[in-house]
Amino acid sequence: MLLPPKTTGLAAPAGIARPWPAVLATWGPGERSTLHAHHCWHLVLALDGELQVRTADESPPRPGGAILTAPDVAHAIDASGTRVLIVFVEPESDVGDGLAQALGASKIEVMGSETADRLRSRVVAAPGEVELAATLPGVLEALGIAAPPSSPRPRHPGVQRVLRHLRGNAGSADTSLEALARVARLSPGRFMHAFTESTGVPLRPYLLWLKLERAGAAIAGGATLAAAASAAGFADAAHMTRTFRRMFGVSPSDLRRRSQLIQDG
């Protein structure tokens, strides 16, 4: 989403690969995003050329061949003029735990040409969905990431139940605090604390992230902005558009024009 791939004018069509649940990958021409933050791990690899990354507290931008960003960290990436491989990883997954373990306390990892070349060597020359699905584990392995990780992040079992419940019921789940606390088998107050402690983000921003995923899937599937906003639970298309810009640095119209989105579990 952040640097949406165009689906026209490519020797190999842009696409999505889903090698395991909670990993979403796309490739195509890169673009420039505005400063934003989203609740996922985010790897951008320049397949040719170089990237520039800017954070909220740093100037000027830093160049690199690949950039790995932790969840909920404000950043802007300029990948204009390059082809990119973009990987999104859910923080609450085994792969997300592996990234957290590999990156440690760092919020953004800017990789030089040697590391970027090592990552590029794991990507097929003309990726298709099957080929990229086969190579993505190698890309993450080259970053020192194991799935599942040797020391997964501890999460409250009640929060784990809620995460499975939300993912399994898509947009039909009752997301009121009281209903989710019942799923977690905790009091509302204890559940709120356990959720933030387990995921690193409060409940409401997390639910907003899920709404954006649903809206993006609907838009990529051909829905109008108004229909996507309604299906995802936004008040209207304007509210959805403002939220897209804040969390992805692009508008939902950009997503419609330039990309496909396939969501994996």
Torsion angle defined by CA atoms of residues 98, 94, 202 and 36, in that order, rounded to the nearest 10 degrees? 60
Q: What is the pTM of this model?
A: 0.70
- Would 44 be classed as within a structural domain? yes
Within-domain flag for 264: no
Token pair listed for 134: 């086969």
* Cα–Cα distance for residue pair 241/130, rounded to 1 Å: 32
Give residue 15's pLDDT.
41
Which of the two residues, 229 and 259, has the higher pLDDT score? 229
pLDDT tens, residue by residue, 15-25: 433 333 466 66
237 with 179, same domain? yes
| Final residue of a structural domain among 142, 175, 195 | 142
- Note the pLDDT of residue 263: 40
**Positive or negative: CA dihedral 68, 25, 197, 153:** negative
Judge if 102 and 176 occupy the same domain: no
- CATH code for the domain of 165: 1.10.10.60
Tell me if 10 is assigned to some domain.
no
The reply to whether 76 falls in a domain is yes
Q: For 41-55, what is the mean pLDDT?
A: 89
For the chain, what percent of residues have pLDDT higher than 90?
20
Q: Please report the pLDDT score of residue 65 as a whole number.
A: 93
Whether 219 and 255 have beta carbons less than 8 Å apart is answered as yes
Give the whole-angstrom CA distance, residue 159 versus residue 156.
5
The SS3 assignment for 48 reads coil
How far apart are alpha carbons 238 and 187 in whole angstroms?
A: 35
8 confidence band (pLDDT: 50, 70, 90): very low
Provide DSSP, 130-144: HHHHHHHHHHHHHTT
Q: What pLDDT is recorded for position 158?
A: 95
Q: What is the pLDDT of residue 149?
A: 56
On the question of pLDDT at 232 being above 50, the answer is yes
User: In the prediction, which pLDDT does 78 show?
Assistant: 92
The number of distinct structural domains making up the chain is 2
Query: What percent of the chain has pLDDT above 70?
Result: 74
- Domain containing residue 33: CATH number: 2.60.120.280
Q: What is the mean pLDDT of residues 190-204?
A: 91
Cβ within 8 Å of residue 188, ≥6 positions away: 177, 178, 181
